[in-house]
Every structure is written in structure tokens, then in C-alpha cells.
Structure 1
Amino acid sequence: MIAVTLRDIDGRAASSGRRWPANDATEDLVQPAWTGGGSISRTVGRLYATGSDGNSGACTATVVGIRTVITAAHCVRTSVKGAPARAATWDNDLCFVPGYQNGTGPHGGFIVRRVRMAENWQNDGLYVAMLEMNPGRDGRNLSEVTGTQPISFLADASGPAHFFGYPYTDRVLHCPGDTTWAPGKALLRFPCLMGMGSSGGPYVSGDAAAEGTVVAVNVSGDGNASYGTALGGFAQRLCQQSESG
């Protein structure tokens, strides 16, 4: 059994009128902006965090349950050089802004209640975190506001797919492509580069991008491609725990 680490966070709902701190690119985007609407425009958003050193950052995340958001593990923890994964420090002030666009959250902001991830989260296939969200200020669960993006833990994640992310841009970007298994790695290779901030962004299977199914989350990249963790039984277990509270 893979050890799960759990962090409870005491937070309240964020204001829907708040402008979110970001130094976003608005032109010369590294990839095209997503203009296809659908559930993607509501369920994918920016995840803000403050590291233990006080520096702020942002990743990408997706609504995949009644109260659950999925992202990459390093989006909520910061590694300690030379130390094992379980020694990583926890990030603070975790706040998710679905549909983030032009410096605002059209659906408001949601504070993370609880984080679930593997103790040894840097191991192959475990590089994922499930975030259980607090309700909004009006008492509604996140999915009642945004809807839910379908997710699969059993699908063959290779093949035609779409990658969505916020690489410090004022709107979500999009790449179509074919995912393949990276040689010598338990990671999916996606032939698209977005850069910092797109970590945690979903790889969505099939041709119907707007309503497609999340099969992996982006975790890294090199000079040629991006790489994601395919979702399997462990991610399913985390999601089930998050949904059951």
C-alpha cells in the first residue's frame, strides 16, 4: 500500500471580487489561447500558493469532482535540496481560481481545505495531488459553480490528446497532440512546450477537447516536450478519499 500524506488547512472562502496577484503575459503567448469554451473554460484554473520562503507562485489545476481539484504534487510542496520527498515543505495560502482570465476570477476563488498526495510523491506514477476544496462564500461546492471535468483512472492515456495550462498567462493556453510513453520513464510525453505555471495542467484525451476526459497532469518539461503523470489506481484512491471527505 502506498503511504498517503494528508494536510488539513484552515481557510475560508476567497472573495469573488478579488484581483489575483500575477505578472501575466498578455501577448506573444508561447501557445495559442483556448477559445473553444465548453467545460474547460470553467473547470481549468490557476492555483496560487505561497512557499515556506514567502515567495508566491502559481500552477494549473482542474475540477474533477464535487469538491475535488487535481494538480501536480510540487504545486503544493517545495522540495528541500538533498532531502527525500517526504521532507518537502508545505506551501501555504492555497487558493484555486477556476476560469481565471484577465487578472480576475469570473467564478470566484476557492480555498483548499485538505491536500492528499503520496508521501514519496516524486516516485514514478505518484506525482499528483488531490485538493479538497472549501465551499464558496455562498455555501455552494465548487462543482456547483463550475461543473466537473470528466476524469479516468483506467484509460490508455497515450494517443490523441489536448494539454491546457496557465504558464503565467492571463488566460488558459491549449496544445493538441499525440501523447506517447517517454522512453525509460513512467511518464507521458506531450509534444508541446508551455513552461513554468503550466504544471498541474490536464492532459485531456480524445478529440472533443472542451468536454474531454482528464487522463494525466503535467509535471515537467525539457527543451522538446512536456511530461505528465498518467492517472491510475493511486490517483483514484486519492480522489475517492477527497470526495468522501
Structure 2
Amino acid sequence: MEKNVGRLFFTFSDGYDGSCTATVVTSSNRSTVVTAAHCLRGVGTPSADDTWNHNFYFVPGYRNGTKPLGGFTVRTMATSSRWDVDPATTESSDVAVAGYDAALLVANPAAGGQPIADVTGSQRIGFDQPVEGEFIHSFGYPNNGLNAPDYKYAGSRMIHCAGTTHPGPKAPLLWGETCDMTAGSSGGPRLADFNTLTGTGTVVGITTTTDVLAGGPTPTLYATRFGDSAHRLYDWAQSR
């Protein structure tokens, strides 16, 4: 499992460093990686440079500062057109609540020329509708900061949660499970039909937010489930 899920590092448009989680998924170009749209940029026209984060660097299997499979720069990326809204009237959280927080990246090859999936392997990707009570496995690199009052995670290793899923009371298009992962786990995979022996399953969504935005009991971690919009992004990415 640790081979194809990793930590996605970047620099926010305001100059601060950040990180999320991302996953290599099966694709025709063997270079496609899925994460959360809010990890890539804020809302606004995509031609505006200040909507995008910068210096993306993906480290699959990241652990305690090491790069067991190397690191990968990003060739291109895309978010849903739903993010192309006026930031004066709409926030990224509004678009996320509407179920459009998925994004796709295309990774550059490894130093030896191999596509990333040839180095890491990949997870299947699915675009089925959510099923209440479905058992889901979630992975991520939460990092709530050394100065946070509830400091628990430092982003140094992958965290795992598993449980049944349900829609958010305040955001029924997002689906959650009991889990205490925090910021940094955004973009992490939600896997259905996960085989704990092989470490493989089907990515059906990505971590978006906590119960603060979507409601429900604490702690709950919510996901954007993949649908038609995510499918179009995936088709675009794997053709690159």
C-alpha cells in the first residue's frame, strides 16, 4: 500500500509550504495521480497565477523524511471547471461541499525514464455512486503542525482509518467515516474492496474535509466521491 500513496509537497500561492496526500491510479499513460482540488489551487480563473500553488513534488511511500521510491515532479494538472468561479462570491469550501474537490495530476517520469506507475504500482479507480454503510479504507499524511493545540500528527508517516461510510448532515454530497486525521490528509484515497494482503483496492473518492464543515459526530473525515466530473478529469489526465 505504501508504494503508490504518498505525500504531495507544494508551496502555497502566498509563499508558505504545505502538503497533502496523493495516489497513483491505473491509467493508460501510467503517470496519473489523484488528489484534492483544494491542494492544487483556490477558486478563480485558472489563467490567474495566484490561484495556483507551486513547486509540486510527490514522494510515494514517504516516511520520516525518506524517499524510498524517489520523488516526482508534476508535468500538468487539472481541477473541475466548478473551481473557475469568482472568489469574491464563492469559496473553495463551497465548491468542495458541492462534491467537486477531486483533481488529477500527471507525473513526470523517474530519473531512469520509467513512468511512475512502473515504479510504484497503482490502485484501481472507480466512479460508482456512494453506498451508505459501505466499508471503506482511508490513508493519508495528516500534519496539524507543531504549534497546534491538539498536535498529534507531524506528516512523517502514513495513517490508516477504516469503517462504514455515511453522508454528511451539512454536506450530503460528501461521505464520511470515523477518523481523526487532520490537515495534510486531504487528497488521500478512499478505497473500496480493499485487500489487506495485497494492499490494493479501488479508489472511489478522496479526503476533503472534517466534521467542522460537513457536520456529524467528532471525529469524522469526509470524502468527495468520484462521479462524472472526476471521470472527465481522469480521461483528460490519462491521455496526457
TM (norm. structure 1) is 0.77
Residues 157 and 113 of structure 1, relative CA distance in 2, 3 Å threshold: farther
Residues 175 and 72 of structure 1, relative CA distance in 2, 3 Å threshold: same
Match of 2:119, SS?
helix
164, 175, 180: which one aligns with 1:178:
164
- 1:37 aligns with none
Matched residue type, 2:112: D
Quote the offset at 1:78 in angstroms: 3.5
Alignment partners' CA distance in 2, 1:157 and 1:102: 35
The answer (yes or no) to whether the contact 2:11–2:56 under 8 Å persists in 1 is: yes
94, 111, 115: which one aligns with 2:77:
115
Quote the offset at 1:171 in angstroms: 1.3
Matched residue type, 1:148: S
- Pairwise mapping of residues 77-116 of structure 1 onto structure 2 (< 5 A)? 77-78=41-42, 89-116=51-78
- Pairwise mapping of residues 48-197 of structure 1 onto structure 2 (< 5 A)? 48-65=9-26, 66-78=30-42, 89-121=51-83, 122=95, 124-154=98-128, 156-158=130-132, 159-168=134-143, 169-183=155-169, 184-197=171-184
The answer (yes or no) to whether the contact 1:67–1:134 under 8 Å persists in 2 is: yes
Alignment partners' CA distance in 1, 2:106 and 2:194: 29
- 1:203 aligns with 190
- 2:150 aligns with none
Structure 2: which 5+ residue stretches go unaligned?
A: 84-94, 144-154, 212-217
Residues 157 and 131 of structure 1, relative CA distance in 2, 3 Å threshold: farther
Q: Identity across aligned pairs (percent)?
A: 42
Residues 189 and 104 of structure 1, relative CA distance in 2, 3 Å threshold: same
- Once the two structures are overlaid, the 10-residue window that deviates more, 207-216 or 52-61, is 207-216
Aligned length: 202
The answer (yes or no) to whether the contact 1:157–1:216 under 8 Å persists in 2 is: no
Alignment partners' CA distance in 2, 1:174 and 1:195: 12
Structure 1: which 5+ residue stretches go unaligned?
A: 1-39
Match of 1:196, SS?
coil
- 1:243 aligns with 238
- 2:222 aligns with 227
Quote the offset at 1:155 in angstroms: 5.3
Alignment partners' CA distance in 1, 2:177 and 2:37: 19
The answer (yes or no) to whether the contact 2:194–2:200 under 8 Å persists in 1 is: no
- Once the two structures are overlaid, the 10-residue window that deviates more, 145-154 or 177-186, is 177-186
Match of 2:123, SS?
coil
The answer (yes or no) to whether the contact 2:7–2:59 under 8 Å persists in 1 is: yes
Alignment partners' CA distance in 1, 2:129 and 2:166: 14
Alignment partners' CA distance in 1, 2:136 and 2:58: 24
1:114-133 Cα distance to aligned partner (Å, 9 max, x none): 11111323251211110011
Alignment partners' CA distance in 2, 1:45 and 1:234: 24
1:7-29 Cα distance to aligned partner (Å, 9 max, x none): xxxxxxxxxxxxxxxxxxxxxxx
Quote the offset at 1:85 in angstroms: 7.8
Quote the offset at 1:228 in angstroms: 0.5
